[in-house]
Amino acid sequence: MILVFGKMGQIATELQSHKDIFALGREQADLSNPGVCAETIKHYEPRAVINAAAYTAVDQAESEENLANTINGDTPGSMANACADLDIPFIHLSTDYVFDGTGAIPWSVADTPNPKNAYGRSKLKGEQLIKASGCTHAILRTSWVISAHGNNFVKTMLRLSEARDQITVVDDQIGGPTCARDIAKACISFAEQLIKDPSKSGIYHYSGQPNVSWCQFANAIFEQIGSKTVASPIPTTEYPTTALRPINSRLDCVFTQSTFGIARPFWRDGLGKILRDLEGEHDKA
C-alpha cells in the first residue's frame, strides 16, 4: 500500500484513481501537527509515502508564514524522518516558486533556490528538511497544476468565457501547464522505482510542454472549447498580487527523463481530457 497525504486536492484526487493507494484527508492527518503525521506513517507501515497535501494559498501565506512553514516545511520533514525510520521512499511535491523567477532559461535542479514569497520559502524549507532526514526521496518540483477538480486556471477561464467576450491575462509569466493526472502517474512511477533503486533519490523537475504564457494558455483553452472569448495580454505590473509571482516558471526536466524515463507531457492532450471530463460533469448535472 502507498500512503497518500491529501484527499481533496487536484493531485491527491487523481492519485486515488490508482490501485494500492490509501489517502488521508485533513480529518485523519492534521498537517499542522508534524508529530501526528509522522506517527500516522509508522502506524500504517506503507510501501511508500506520497505527500500531495500542502498549504497552497500563495497570497494568504504572506500573513500566515508561520502556518505555511509548519505545513509545507516542518510536517514534510517529520514525514521524511518517519520514512527514514521505516526505510521506505518518500515522494514530495514542491514548486518552481523556490526560485526567484528571473531570466528566461529553464530552471535546472542544480540551480540555487531563491524564493521571493512566503509560500516559496515554506516549500524550500520542506525540501531542506527532507534532504536532511536521509530518507530515500524524490522531491518533485512542478508548476501550473490543472485538472477537472478543485480551483485552477482552466476552470476560471471556462467561467469567464460564459460571461465575457474579452478578458485580459498576464502575458509575461512563462511556464509549463501540468495536468494533475500526469503528475499523479509520475508520483506512482517515482515511488515504484525508488523502492527498487533508492540511489535515484534526489530533486526532480516535471512540467508540461511547450512553455507558454498565461495569456497564451487562456486562448488555447478558448480555442479548444470553441469559445469566441479572446484573452488580451497585459504585463504582471497591471495585475498586482499580495505575493510576488515568478516571471520565469520554466523547468528543465531532462534529469527526470534520463533517470526515471518520464518525459514531459504535452499539456494540450491533458487539457483536452480535462475539458471532456468537465463537459461530462456538466451533462450529468
Let me know: does 9 contact 150? Beta carbons within 8 Å. Answer: yes
Let me know: does 27 contact 40? Beta carbons within 8 Å. Answer: no
Give the start-to-end residue ranges of the domains of the chain. 2-284
What integer pLDDT is reported at residue 242 of this predicted model?
97
Give the residues across from 179 on adjacent strands: 146
What integer pLDDT is reported at residue 12 of this predicted model?
97
pTM value is 0.96
Residues acting as catalytic residues: 119
Burial class (CB in 10 A: 0-12, 13-18, 19+), 234: middle
What integer pLDDT is reported at residue 279 of this predicted model?
85
Helix (H) / strand (E) containing 192: helix 180-196
What integer pLDDT is reported at residue 149 of this predicted model?
93
What integer pLDDT is reported at residue 120 of this predicted model?
98
Residue with cell 521512499: 89
Q: What is the 3-state secondary structure (H, E, C) of 97-155?
A: HHCCCCCCCCECCCCCCCCCCHHHHHHHHHHHHHHHHCCCEEEEEECCEECCCCCCHHH
Let me know: does 117 contact 68? Beta carbons within 8 Å. Answer: no
Q: Please list the pLDDT of the chain residue by residue as tens digits (285 residues).
A: 999 999 999 999 999 999 999 999 988 999 999 999 999 999 999 999 999 999 999 999 999 999 999 999 999 999 999 999 999 999 999 999 999 999 999 999 999 999 999 999 999 999 999 999 999 999 999 999 999 998 899 999 999 999 999 999 999 999 999 999 999 999 999 999 999 999 999 999 999 999 999 999 999 999 999 999 999 999 999 999 999 999 999 999 999 999 999 999 999 999 999 999 998 765 555
What integer pLDDT is reported at residue 280 of this predicted model?
76
Considering the domain 2-284 in this protein, what is its CATH number? 3.40.50.720
